[in-house]
Structure 1
Amino acid sequence: MPEPVYVLGGTQTDFAVNWTKEDEEPLTSMLREAVAGALIDARVEPEEIQTAHVGNFGAEQFTGQSHLGALVPMLYPAWHGLPTSRHEAACASGSIALLAATAEIEAGRYDIALVAGVELMRNIRGDQAARHLGSAAMVPEETASDDLPWPSLFNRIAEETDQRHGLDQRYLDRIAEINRTNARRNPKAQTRDWTLEPEQFTADDIVNPIVTGRTRKSDCGRITDGAAAVVLAGRRFADEWARGQRGAPRSRVLGWGHHTAPLPLRSKFLASKPDDYLFPHVRDAIFDAYRRANLQGPRDLDVIETHDCFTITEYMALEHFGLTGPGDAWQAIENGLIDFEGPLPVNPSGGLIGAGHPVGATGVRMLLDAHRQVTGTAGGYQVEAARKAGTLNIGGSASTAVSFMIGAAD
């Protein structure tokens, strides 16, 4: 049997901070802050860490820096020689780093691991950032003639959803409103202090202008700087840690799922034509995680943290998680199922739209928030009595899909 994997603690940086304005070495400083905070939260000393993994998408393009795994040994003298690596899968980079660390623990290679995700993106102009982010699509087929590749690609997902099942913009507006409202409860969310007016979630062309096609400003996630880190451990270390009464409650990784589809969006559309779901491999990743966790489905969950780089991404995810049947995601929005005080809150952190989306850190942040929810340590955005949480992190136009199921362990 694989070794069980526990989450002992973690932290994130303030996603509202523009790190280039704050620090001369922003990438390293973000990583240092998140890692130090994770060790403190987990009550673990640097000398106890046996391996480390870093999730990052585009440091080469945004900062000219690669080989980020080797930044980790710079943080503490005790980490000279520590085995480390960097992982990239577009917006799912953090989750891939988590999968690598959990696999090492399950295999018994190491008893305790650090996983960090980091991204610096606000150090350049928005148009440059958009072009760099576009490298996670099919280059040049999907990006050569488009200054906004990701709004355009996810607008195509919205159009395809409309063609197959129908799509009412009101429900996308409501997703944006829920996530931005949730973010106000999160002290490290990028948009926590932004103004929140009803007109921002309507077809008001002044307050909520069209970005491309049917996609409006409120439908889009943020350009964000940030880092997040967690400490994972196997049974032996976690049990000794618990007996030592080091403090915070632990959670457990109950199950995981990981599937990857071809890079071009059109290839995914063609492959799913015979299927009821737009991205069957995404659903497979989630349902693999359910199966490995011995969960029957979303009725066994208390909270979900899902990818919402655009509102259509979350709309799609509601169906793929099994909250509704194909084409019926609107029902989970209309009946209040996903509201903060609803039966199954989605993105109580604010999600990517509200909390922010530092690309390589997002998957780690999701797992951290799942851990906080099931251990009752989420503070102002705590979902009452949450004991089981699910995550979905996607990379590219839903090419890479990773899902985790997290449960309370104490």
Structure 2
Amino acid sequence: MSPQKIYILGGHQSDFAQNAARADQSVAELFIDTVRSGLTACKLDAAEIEVGHVGNFVSSLFSGQAQLGGFFGHVDPAMRYMPASSHEAACASGSMAILAAMADLEAGRYETACVLGIEIMRNVSGDKAAANLRPAAWASQEWTETDFVWPCAFNNMLSLYEERYSLNKDHLYAISQQNFASARRNPNAQTRQWQFNEHSFSNDDSANPVVSGNIRKQDCGQITDGAAVVFLATESKAVEYAARHNISLNSIPTIKGWGHINAPISFKEKLQLSEPEGYLFPHINTLFQQTLKRAGMNGLSAIDGLEVHDCFNITEYMILDHSGLYAPGDAWKAIENGDISKTGKLPINMSGGLIGLGHPVGATGVRMLLDSYKQIAGAAGNYQIDNAKNVMTFNLGGSATTCASFIVGKTNA
């Protein structure tokens, strides 16, 4: 018996350019405002939502607030006693919340679910933020000699690519340039008004200062405050929703495939599982294969766009070959051939991604699903992919420890 279809009724994203501390906005207020705005955008009544799931990594450290599911009760009186739970898997926390909500609906427990991803991260100093994010690695064992774990960790990934295949840093800069340019078309992007000059994407220490090793400022995703919400429904509920709003059921995007895989938290142990002449992280390629298989698709040729986890540009570069788009070590071809541009054969991160749009850790997986929904619904505005029928996400947590993926499309496409 195959699981029933899960429909996406819509959602809402906060403005990732907003600094919550400067706006005097608490994590509770961001939570409540985002869910209310999502309900309004989708023309849903709070009483229709039967269960809530929250993706969050470190609110207890950044905001001093845990037990986030309790804030559903402050969104609307109808949600006062609604069951809810929170999910943590570092940067993949939002995707874990989506998977849990899907399981609830597939099991027949509920017919509608609200999935919220949320993080406030700009309310502390850079040193404190770095310390708060350390636990996504094996905190007592890895990169203990540095205060800035993640630039150091992904510099290690960059070095491995250099050793195995050689690497032209200009290809990485091209990824960042495209993602910042895409962000300028996204009205919710953190960097949409940022300005760059001819030296911003170069080895110029003034315009593009070193952060760690070969990782420079424009190589990095953003520290971001933000939230995103999506509403999921079973087919029977989607039929009712479509009839009420006088739309076709087939016009409502569905989650056609999903993937979820974990690797050992130790980066060293991940590398011991690496294929010497192949994939640096074989489990990531496995994830792409299992997601496509669950969607009944033979390969990436069925996918019209990707929203991927570019916490650093080297991460997106790694995904270009681990996805199967090119052979290991040949990711540069996708960049030189223009494959990942808006008009290329596989547009990537038209939202701006984590580099351009922003990366509120617990919200990213949910935001990716929401942007995929927008692409399929034709609601992505200036960053719309022409004739998008199927869009895929890839979200990772830690040093590629927890990885998840979804394919969003319409049932007849």
Summarize deviations over 1:343-375 as a string: whole Å, max 9, x none: 211000000000000000000000000000011
Question: Match of 2:404, SS?
Answer: strand
Counterpart mapping for 1:6-405 below 5 A: 6-24=7-25, 26-245=26-245, 249-274=251-276, 276-405=278-407
Q: How many residues align?
A: 409
Point out the more displaced range, 180-189 or 236-245. 236-245
Give the AA of the match of 2:167.
L
Question: Match of 1:253, SS?
Answer: strand
Give the C-alpha shift of residue 41 in structure 1.
Answer: 2.1
Q: Distance in 2 between matches of 1:250 and 1:91?
A: 28
Give the AA of the match of 1:397.
S
Counterpart contact for 1:43–1:247, Cα < 8 Å: no
Q: Distance in 1 between matches of 2:247 and 2:382?
A: 20
Give the C-alpha shift of residue 409 in structure 1.
Answer: 4.1
Q: Distance in 1 between matches of 2:17 and 2:84?
A: 28
Give the C-alpha shift of residue 245 in structure 1.
Answer: 2.0
Counterpart contact for 2:32–2:71, Cα < 8 Å: no
Point out the more displaced range, 103-112 or 271-280. 271-280
Q: Distance in 2 between matches of 1:124 and 1:247?
A: 46
Counterpart contact for 2:7–2:234, Cα < 8 Å: yes
Coordinate RMSD, CA, aligned: 1.3
Question: Match of 1:101, SS?
Answer: helix
Give the C-alpha shift of residue 145 in structure 1.
Answer: 2.0
1:4 aligns with 2:5: yes
Identical pairs, percent: 47
- Flag the 1:165–1:19 CA change in 2: closer, same or farther, 3 A: same
Using the size of structure 1 for normalisation, the TM-score is 0.97
Q: Distance in 2 between matches of 1:333 and 1:146?
A: 32
Q: Distance in 2 between matches of 1:17 and 1:300?
A: 36
Q: Distance in 2 between matches of 1:275 and 1:4?
A: 39
Summarize deviations over 1:255-289 as a string: whole Å, max 9, x none: 00000001111111111144611111111112111
Q: Distance in 1 between matches of 2:315 and 2:178?
A: 14
Question: Match of 2:394, SS?
Answer: strand
Structure 2 unmatched ranges of 5 or more: none
Summarize deviations over 1:13-50 as a string: whole Å, max 9, x none: 000000111125x2011111221122122221000000
Give the C-alpha shift of residue 386 in structure 1.
Answer: 0.6
Summarize deviations over 1:144-182 as a string: whole Å, max 9, x none: 321110000000011111112221111100000000000
Structure 1 unmatched ranges of 5 or more: none
Counterpart contact for 2:143–2:152, Cα < 8 Å: no
Question: Match of 1:208, SS?
Answer: coil
Q: Distance in 1 between matches of 2:244 and 2:66?
A: 39
Counterpart contact for 1:134–1:143, Cα < 8 Å: no
Question: Match of 2:21, SS?
Answer: helix
Q: Distance in 2 between matches of 1:408 and 1:309?
A: 29
Q: Distance in 1 between matches of 2:143 and 2:8?
A: 39
Counterpart contact for 1:43–1:246, Cα < 8 Å: no
Counterpart contact for 1:90–1:359, Cα < 8 Å: yes
Point out the more displaced range, 198-207 or 213-222. 198-207
Give the C-alpha shift of residue 247 in structure 1.
Answer: 6.0
Q: Distance in 2 between matches of 1:67 and 1:362?
A: 19
Q: Distance in 1 between matches of 2:274 and 2:316?
A: 18
Q: Distance in 2 between matches of 1:255 and 1:306?
A: 16
Q: Distance in 2 between matches of 1:44 and 1:275?
A: 52
Give the AA of the match of 1:14.
D
Counterpart contact for 1:23–1:29, Cα < 8 Å: no
Q: Distance in 1 between matches of 2:223 and 2:8?
A: 28
Question: Match of 1:207, SS?
Answer: coil
Give the C-alpha shift of residue 379 in structure 1.
Answer: 0.7
Give the C-alpha shift of residue 246 in structure 1.
Answer: 5.6
Point out the more displaced range, 61-70 or 253-262. 61-70
